[in-house]
């Protein structure tokens, strides 16, 4: 019998002994007088046991069966679900095991078995909260997270999340945080959402900001000196996307919180689906997981009108989202790039460009090397080796070998000796020649 039930029995006994009135007993027990009369009658007829609730010790009809509890505990201790937090585990039970239970039910079953959530002992991080942006697309936070997502090797997950809605725009795996990963993430985001955001919010990684920019003084800036944009910065300038640099990790807390959630969930999902490579992981993320994640975690913005700008149909992302380098055309419309020599072609035919013409090399991980000149994109053909320059001596020899060495049939040298034309001198010519001869001897 509980303390509450013992108190109730003492008051009822006092009412039966007429030490207190029924009204006073009702006030003490916070019951109606009708209930006090019922309790008095029950104690008189059945004794003190009448005070004890009849469902005490009886299992509720809607309670989880022992077999279900045992199965939940067994699943949580299995390899696939061992590292899942309780909320994620409750979702996985419904999705993969067809066990639909509330979170409190799963929590009680596991805690009674001595199993606790992996997040239970994590300290809560207190940071100054910043109000979300009013419109979707005004600010997109981007970052990369190196982690043991699958297997025993760290890989980097590149991601973009909208500040206003918490909607994940893109996720892409690469071996390391790199320009290729951010280009792929940007293209994925634009194709998925069909528009361009106003701003990107990122850290000060050298992919986004040149380290030389920290050393430029105010005097140099006033003189008009500036540091060249990085490849990513130049691409974003072409697309009209503003790049904002965060000064600390908490400043871009939206994407940092995303990594905390994904680091808890994705390794479990990859283990369940047998994913062990980056290619499989990227396919899994884009085949429905991002949409499912957004359905669960995204919120409605304060202003329902989107700030995403539609992509102009004339814009070719493959020309913008790539590495661009300047090169000078040499002999034969060729140029050197990456220690290799290429020739500029169009539909398999060599293109003739003037010597020392400046061209822009387009280096994309999705296409072969291309060249941009005067707004036209040309293909390239890689040569086995760079053609050697011809020396002046070799050029002279070639010129000599190209000259005809055999005289024509009617050449005077071909005629017989008697038929050769003889020079004819008259008396005036003889006098002139003699004068020239005499002057030459006098000078000598």
Q: pLDDT tens digit string along 118-167?
A: 776 556 666 667 789 999 999 999 999 999 998 888 999 999 999 999 99
pLDDT at site 424: 52
Report the share of the chain in percent with pLDDT over 90: 50
The answer to whether the predicted template modeling score (pTM) of the entire model surpasses 0.75 is no
If phi over 0 gives left and psi between -120 and 50 gives alpha, with beta otherwise, what is residue 287? Answer: alpha
| CA–CA separation, 285 and 172 (whole Å) | 8
Average pLDDT, the chain: 85
Number of Cβ within 10 Å of residue 138's Cβ equals 19
What is the distance between the terminal CA atoms of the chain, rounded to a whole angstrom? 151
The residue among 158, 195, 188 whose CA lies nearest residue 173 is 158
| CA–CA separation, 268 and 117 (whole Å) | 14
pLDDT digit string (tens) for 277-304?
999 999 999 999 999 999 999 999 999 9
Q: For CA atoms 235, 238, 239, 242, give the dihedral sign.
A: positive
Looking up tokens 């010597």, which residue turns up? Answer: 355
| CA–CA separation, 232 and 64 (whole Å) | 55
Lowest mean pLDDT among 83-87, 234-238, 331-335: 331-335
365 or 226, which is more confident?
365
pLDDT digit string (tens) for 344-380?
998 888 888 888 889 999 999 888 999 999 989 999 9
* Span 62-82, average pLDDT: 89
pLDDT at site 149: 94
Lowest mean pLDDT among 62-71, 379-388, 409-418: 409-418
Strands 340-346 and 323-328: unpaired
Q: Concatenate the DSSP letters of all residues of 351-371 into one string.
A: P---TT-EEEEEE-SSS--EE
DSSP SS3 for 335: strand
pLDDT at site 157: 97
What are the φ and ψ backbone dihedral angles of 396, each rounded to 5 degrees? -65, -40
Give the H or E element holding residue 46. helix 33-46
Query: Which regions of 113-154 does DSSP assign to beta strands (E)?
Result: 140-147
For residue 227, is pLDDT > 80? no
Report the share of the chain in percent with pLDDT over 70: 83
The residue among 157, 142, 150, 318 whose CA lies nearest residue 243 is 142
Helices (H), 196-304: 218-222, 231-239, 253-273, 278-284, 290-297
| CA–CA separation, 292 and 294 (whole Å) | 5
Q: For CA atoms 13, 19, 25, 28, give the dihedral sign.
A: negative
């Amino acid at each position: 019998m509980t303390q509450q039930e013992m108190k109730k029995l003492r008051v009822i006994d006092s009412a039966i002994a007429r030490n207190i009135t029924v009204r006073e007993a009702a006030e003490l027990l916070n019951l109606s007088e009708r209930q006090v009369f019922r309790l008095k009658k029950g104690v008189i007829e059945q004794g003190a046991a009448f005070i004890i609730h009849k469902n005490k010790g009886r299992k509720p009809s809607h309670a989880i069966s022992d077999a279900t509890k045992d199965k939940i505990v067994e699943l949580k201790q299995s390899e696939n679900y061992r590292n899942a937090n309780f909320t994620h585990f409750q979702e996985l039970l419904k999705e993969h095991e067809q066990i639909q239970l509330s979170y409190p039910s799963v929590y009680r079953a596991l805690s009674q078995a001595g199993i606790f959530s992996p997040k239970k002992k994590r300290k809560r991080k207190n940071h100054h909260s910043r109000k979300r942006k009013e419109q979707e697309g005004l600010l997109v936070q981007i970052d990369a997270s190196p982690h043991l997502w699958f297997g025993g090797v760290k890989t980097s997950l590149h991601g973009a999340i909208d500040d206003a809605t918490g909607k994940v725009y893109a996720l892409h795996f690469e071996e390391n945080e790199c320009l290729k990963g951010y280009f792929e993430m940007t293209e994925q985001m634009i194709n998925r959402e069909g528009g361009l955001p106003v701003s990107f919010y990122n850290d000060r990684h050298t992919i986004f900001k040149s380290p030389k920019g920290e050393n430029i003084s105010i005097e140099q800036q006033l003189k008009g000196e500036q540091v060249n944009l990085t490849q990513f910065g130049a691409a974003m300038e072409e697309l009209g996307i503003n790049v904002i640099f965060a000064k600390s990790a908490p400043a871009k807390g939206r994407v940092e919180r995303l990594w905390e959630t994904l680091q808890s969930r994705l390794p479990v999902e990859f283990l369940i689906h047998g994913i062990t490579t980056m290619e499989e992981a990227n396919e899994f993320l884009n085949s429905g997981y991002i949409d499912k994640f957004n359905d669960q975690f995204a919120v409605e913005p304060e202003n329902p009108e989107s700030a995403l700008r539609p992509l102009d149909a004339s814009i070719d992302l493959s020309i913008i989202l790539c590495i661009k380098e300047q090169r000078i055309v040499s002999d034969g419309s060729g140029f050197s790039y990456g220690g290799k020599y290429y020739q500029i072609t169009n539909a398999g035919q060599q293109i003739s460009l003037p010597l020392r013409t400046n061209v822009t090399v387009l280096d994309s991980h999705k296409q072969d090397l291309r060249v941009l000149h005067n707004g036209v994109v040309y293909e390239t053909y890689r040569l086995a080796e760079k053609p050697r320059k011809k020396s002046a001596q070799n050029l002279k020899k070639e010129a000599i070998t190209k000259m005809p060495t055999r005289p024509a049939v009617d050449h005077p040298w071909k005629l017989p000796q008697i038929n050769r034309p003889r020079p004819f001198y008259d008396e005036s010519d003889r006098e002139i020649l003699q004068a020239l001869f005499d002057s030459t001897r006098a000078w000598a």
